[in-house]
Amino acid sequence: MNLELSPAEQAFREQVRAFLRDNLTDELRRGQRETSSMYPEPETSGPWQQALQRQGWLVPLWPQEWAGTGWTAVQRFIFETECALAGAPLVHPMGVRLVGPVILRFGTEEQKRRYLPRILSGEDYWCQGFSEPGAGSDLASLKMRAVADGEDYVLNGSKIWTTHAHHANMMFALVRTSTEGKRQEGISFLLIDMNTPGIEVRPIATIGGDHDVNEVFFTDVRVPQANRIGAENAGWDCAKYLLEFERGAGIFSGRLRSQLKRVRDAIGELEASGVDVRGDGRLVARFGEVCADLDCFEMMELRIMGALQPGQSPGPVSSILKLRASRLKQAIAELGVEVLGGEALRWRRESAGGSVLPVLVPDYLNSRAYTIFGGAAEVQLGIIAKSVVGV
């Protein structure tokens, strides 16, 4: 495996760095830096999405006829790593990385023409309606019904842990359209206008103090059957394809390295105030272990991503990336709390004012969910055992 960038790749990296210098404002950088929840708020992610769209760099995973970049996996790695290390906001992925690829693969031409431009422009802000109170890791057990009535479906039921539903004007959801056969065979994939009568969004306060997720209730909600992606009862295929992108089509190592940089910045802040962090040998050793673990993960990610063609998802290997990235995320967040020491016991969620210290504890608390959402660690281990190891 050649780890040296070619002259063309080095030139591309300089092009990305120049774009970041010209477009990444201090305000956007601060918005991402002070984010302790999974995604930054729309006022932070939205302007950055627009800047990427103007540059033509918003959707590297899409085909070029639909504004894709045609980048190689190495170019994607360079781009996402440089963005993360520069402190660029994380673009809300529900539209560009999740439902967009599903529409491209399973949608009709009419659906592509209607929804894809609105995803690119940011006109539609999406949330994901997968999890239910009794269907999270065991997604096939979902119960929210969609009953055909004329040209519509009538929806009744609820979704939970719906990230940014309070911001979204559109939801992509899995609904039960049949109870016959295997559980996976009675599910359909629908696109739902969140302004439809009968939809109620209720906030869930997370342990980290953020409003990131919600409950969403549906009472006699009418959704046109024309909003179904793929055939009726074939939504499980859409879901599996989407989850491969959710778990593995992103570049994790750059964001993880950015998170580790935030811990390093916290050490600098504490030492500037007279706290001797580096004098704690155990903590220094732990920092080194996390750095080494991250280096190993980055090499693994490069090896996997380097074998992919533009627009191709990693398949079942995405479970390995998702599992390792989730655990590394938690390890880095734990390191941040250890750096704070006894100060971590004091709740301070006041405005950060440029300091990263108030973000570390909420980030640690919220990181507990990373080995649950997007498929729990136990689910990923099962997929790895069955599809990768073959046992």
pLDDT for 355 equals 83
List helix spans (H) across the chain.
7-23, 26-33, 42-55, 73-86, 93, 100-106, 109-121, 235-248, 252-272, 281-305, 318-340, 357-367, 377-383
Residue-wise pLDDT tens digits, 13-38: 999 999 999 999 999 999 998 888 88
For residues 199 and 341, the model is more confident at 199
Residue-wise pLDDT tens digits, 111-126: 999 999 999 999 999 9
Q: Is the pLDDT of residue 194 over 90?
A: yes
Q: Is the pLDDT of residue 311 over 60?
A: no
What distance in Å separates the CA atoms of residue 47 and residue 371, rounded to the nearest whole number? 30
The catalytic site residues sit at: 246
What distance in Å separates the CA atoms of residue 150 and residue 157, rounded to the nearest whole number? 20
Residue-wise pLDDT tens digits, 126-184: 999 999 988 877 888 999 999 999 999 999 999 999 999 999 999 999 999 999 988 88
pLDDT for 40 equals 92
Q: What is the mean pLDDT of residues 298-324?
A: 76
Write the DSSP symbol of residue 123: -
For residues 4 and 119, the model is more confident at 119
Q: Is the pLDDT of residue 249 over 80?
A: no
| CB 210 within 8 Å of CB 362 | yes
| CB 214 within 8 Å of CB 166 | yes
Contacts of 263 (CB under 8 A, 6+ apart): 287, 332, 335, 336, 339, 360
Lowest mean pLDDT among 12-16, 42-46, 270-274, 381-385: 381-385
pLDDT for 354 equals 73
Angle between helices 318-340 and 252-272 (to 10 degrees): 0
Label residues 365-375 b or e (16+ Cβ within 10 Å = b).
bbbebbbbbbb
Indicate the pLDDT class of residue 352, thresholds 50, 70 and 90.
Answer: low
Q: Is the pLDDT of residue 310 over 60?
A: no
What percentage of the chain has pLDDT greater than the value 90? 64
